[in-house]
A and B are shown apart, each in its own frame.
Chain A
């Protein structure tokens, strides 16, 4: 075995299967590449874990809402039974609070004390009285949220061991809060308000309902526009269109449209829908239309793929028994392609649900404290609500933002799970 003689002048003959330094260098290069690969994957997955982890951890405090229960006396005459909405509930509530803390008398202290309780208390009280006017003149329990600082004190987000200058609650407020706890007035039930309240300036009152309704309307429009139009366009291009310049242009155009930055669609919506057609600003209808233009290419591409997967023999069979091409498509090809189309549509809608930038441009980041009555009313959507909250300085909004993200991700997971299930369940190999 003379052709791989070692370089040294010695007469030693090395057999071909003996590794040399060069070979081990080559193998360590191989191991290095493998290590890079593993490192890259670990980096990507740990980033995913960090993202989900930190958001879940920050969201945790928003799972419960700290509530306080007070006995409130609504004196006769303070509220007019024929018009219970008009009472000065703020004052009534303040009186009840002061009854628990009789020693608080200076206006400054009173203000401090008041800050512990949410501004939403008066509305909780009002709603109770409006529901049952017979409560007027009686004393009864009202449960309502503590203000943000109280909430955070309860959840330990504010460290009471810090010196007073470094925390947002005073020693006095901590004392009052402790008294409330002693008296068993504090509870922390599940935070349903987070889902069922509309937006508010006060974190403890802010909820996602308006955003959920807005997103629902927008997605509804998006579906009803992009689904039929997308399928029709795909059917034409795949089943009927002659091969010519125009259809080539449409084809290139659709592929490129799918890669146009979403914010450009926002500019389109702003210039065309709002400025040219004069549609209402911040309305889910406009948001839905913009989103449907964005979803359209996704649905067209998915539908074409699904139509392509239906074998030509099916079409030939139908045409062979005298069906027109339209009948062939309508009766045979489309139903067979439907699972694939639905999967693509759900994925497209999921993308639309998470889309933020175009909605910002058409003003769906307005501050609106009630859910929209119709798709023409101003509203926010889930992702724009997240944007608004993320921008808000109050501490309480941090956990609410994270919680809203969890809600958004929850919807996305469900939608994708449905899509994957449909793909698995109805997948047909020809």
Chain B
């Protein structure tokens, strides 16, 4: 029986529990005495007691089952297979066992593996049967227990409210769990990485070439994982992007708030926001389809040597993506400056440009800065545009016509395809991910604080 069917049965049981509880409460009501809670709440109580534990059990079971079974299988393998085998080889053995169990046998596997495969199938069957049985048992036990609690003065409403409240709390904690999960997974894997490549070499090394095959004992070979060129590429491309996005976004916001009439604003603003809704993969394709060839041809016509994956193309397209980001933050910030300041400046005989430059922009600066910081954090974390349009080789160059690589590009190229969790190549991606996470988090926290302060100032 699949998990989906099982969950459906649990749902039906819960529904039955609801009806049962309600009917029972209805019967109590017949006695004519005042009940604490209306019958429906008795029903909800039974349904929750029946469905909730069973549902959680299924989730936990599904999450744990494969890990547990794998562990059992590995433990039972004869020592001549498991001895001295590292984790990556082990996972290959496991997947071979699984494919044998699924009936896909290639060549003549070891008898031990065939046995293991058989045991694997058996364990799978036992596990799923056990899951069904225990889930149904818990559901029914919960139902019966809850039913026995029902009585005239039973505070069903308070109990149900209490349970729901706990559910709500658990859901809000999930958001924290996500962050925690991100931090833990990044830190743990990075830790494994830094045990092979010293942190200092990673952060300050000048050579990045994880793709060169490295023998296991040569892992920490000097310079192979020096991330400075990668960081530089990220900063460089982000800077180009901001160079495009900042003036364009800021000037369009100024025009839309201070110069244009309502009609133009109501047309242009949503159009700009479309730019923000386009998936980044589309921008990436746009970069390689249109922008990069254009820049290349244009550069060649000027006698310049332009790489097909130039930083300019990737950064420029990323800049286009960030325009609506900057413009909407600047728009909000400038609009939030009180009208009285505009009046004050105009009444002194300031022109519009003078009012904007000397009164509105300084007053709106914190809001704009917050938006710019968020945009920078976007640019640093942006992946698809650079994966498609930027380079793979880490070069330390300040020439926008050459190709550079970024943190996100390296993460994707290191992790795409089959990944083994113990090669420094894979782990390096987590090291980069940790740096990426910390830097964007810092930018976000500062930016959100700045924006929040600014809002408080004018509200």
The residues of A with any CB-CB pair to B shorter than 8 Å are 26-27, 29-30, 32-34, 36-41, 43-45, 47-48, 50-51, 54-55, 58, 228-230, 232-233, 235-237, 240-241, 249-250, 252-257, 259-268, 270-272, 275-279, 293, 296-297, 300, 324-327, 350, 353-357, 360-361, 365, 383, 386-387, 390, 398, 401-402, 405, 408-409, 412, 416
Contact = CB atoms under 8 A, between A and B. Distances in A.
B255 A40 contact: yes
A58 B288 CA distance: 13
A260 B383 CA distance: 12
12 contacts: A34-B259, A44-B327, A233-B168, A256-B441, A256-B445, A257-B179, A260-B444, A326-B164, A356-B383, A357-B408, A390-B281, A405-B281
B320 A44 contact: yes
B412 A361 contact: yes
A237 B289 CA distance: 46
B175 A259 contact: no
Nearest to A23: B351
Contacts of B281: 354, 356, 383, 386-387, 390, 405
Interface in B402-459: 408, 411-412, 415-416, 419, 421, 429-430, 433, 436-437, 440-441, 444-445, 448
B254 A37 contact: yes
B66 A277 contact: yes
B156 to A, nearest CB: 11
A220 B454 CA distance: 39
Contacts of B419: 270
Contacts of B381: 260-264
B289 A398 contact: yes
Interface of B: 63-64, 66-67, 70, 157-158, 160-161, 164-165, 167-169, 171-176, 178-179, 181-182, 185-186, 188-189, 247-252, 254-256, 259-260, 268, 271-272, 274-275, 277-286, 288-290, 320, 323-324, 327, 351-354, 356-357, 374, 377-378, 380-384, 387-388, 408, 411-412, 415-416, 419, 421, 429-430, 433, 436-437, 440-441, 444-445, 448
B430 A54 contact: no
Contacts, number: 272
B352 A33 contact: yes
Nearest to B174: A229
Q: Which 7 A-B pairs have the closest CB atoms?
A: A261-B381, A37-B255, A354-B279, A271-B185, A232-B171, A236-B168, A40-B251
A32 B357 CA distance: 12
Most central of B182, B188, B189 by chain A CB within 10 Å: B182
B323 A390 contact: no
A277 B63 contact: yes
Contact of A356 (B279, B351, B356): B279
B17 to A, nearest CB: 19
